[in-house]
Amino acid sequence: MGIIEAIILGIIQGLTEFLPVSSSGHIEIGQAILGMDSLKENEELLSVVLHGATALSTIWVFRKDIAEIISGFFSGDSEQRSFVWKIIISMIPAAFVGLFFDDLLKVLFEGQLQLVGFMLLITGALLFVADRAKNTVKKVSYSNAVIIGLAQAFAILPGISRSGATISTSVLLGIDRERAARFSFLMVVPLILGKMAKDVLDGKMVLSEDMAVPLLAGFAAAFITGAIACIWMIKLVKSSRLWWFGIYCIIVGLIAIAKTSGLF
């Protein structure tokens, strides 16, 4: 894997981790375009590095919020403690799927661009429906946290956008749009860090000297584009413009399906 390939995948990861267009689906498409053979042996290491970059970009964007949450939790602030427990609850479904079905999902769905295309159509439809939601004024409740967590678990499928699924579900539950985006982005950070720790402890990844510079370049690209996409996405959710990405997902989904069906 060269520097250019790493930067391209870093940009894809950074943008699509936060924009509701499915990072896993776009990484699959990007790998198919760049050539799986050149990336396969470094795929797990690359995944850890790029996800680490987007996790850090989330922490940077929400650094003040995170500081307030941590400070409030340890000082006994009931609202902040409640928020932390809701985050923990929301993580359980995706953590369960990741721990027990991660390898199975990789075997079943890796390289399945046609499936990615169909899942992108579902993501697009979900975004259109959510953008038309009214009366979005609520805070996140404990029951909401469970439902949003189930949406996040479903988004493990390539082509289903994690942010799209969780934000859309939140909005359809009547949650305030800005709160929905904030909760969606913060709830994934512990999961990303946990997944990274699991992959590192598995001992399957080996860093060679020739990979150091490409990985650093990919990390920087993912961090910068991730921070930009995160800030942009919050503004778009507040202004009810998710349908933009609904159109994009449907177009890309149809192209992926047509391509894998041999239509062109």
Query: Tell me: the pLDDT tens digits for 53-69?
Result: 999 999 999 999 999 99
pLDDT at residue 183 in the model: 92
Q: At residue 48, does pLDDT exceed 60?
A: yes
Confidence class for position 99, pLDDT limits 50, 70, 90: confident
Instruction: List C-alpha distances in Å: 71 to 6, 42, 81, 130, 234.
Output: 37, 39, 10, 33, 24
Task: Give every CB contact of residue 36 below 8 A, 6+ residues apart in sequence.
Answer: 111
Q: Residues 104-113: what's their mean pLDDT?
A: 70
Closest CA to 150 of 140, 132, 139, 162: 162
Beta bridge partners of 175: 138
Question: Among 12-26, 34-48, 215-229, 241-255, where is mean pLDDT lowest?
Answer: 34-48
Q: At residue 70, does pLDDT exceed 80?
A: yes
pLDDT at residue 21 in the model: 81
Question: Among 64-68, 71-75, 207-211, where is mean pLDDT lowest?
Answer: 207-211
Contact 230, 64 (CB under 8 A): no
- pLDDT tens, residue by residue, 230-251: 999 888 888 878 888 899 999 9
pLDDT at residue 76 in the model: 84
Beta bridge partners of 138: 175
pLDDT at residue 84 in the model: 92
Q: At residue 83, does pLDDT exceed 80?
A: yes
Q: Residues 79-86: what's their mean pLDDT?
A: 92
Residues of the chain above pLDDT 70, percent: 88
Q: Give 51 or 147, the one with higher predicted confidence.
A: 147
The C-alpha atoms of residue 262 and residue 264 are separated, in whole angstroms, by 5
Q: How many CB atoms lie within 10 A of CB 170?
A: 29
Inter-helix orientation angle 162-172/209-238, to 10°: 20
Q: Residues 167-190: what's their mean pLDDT?
A: 90
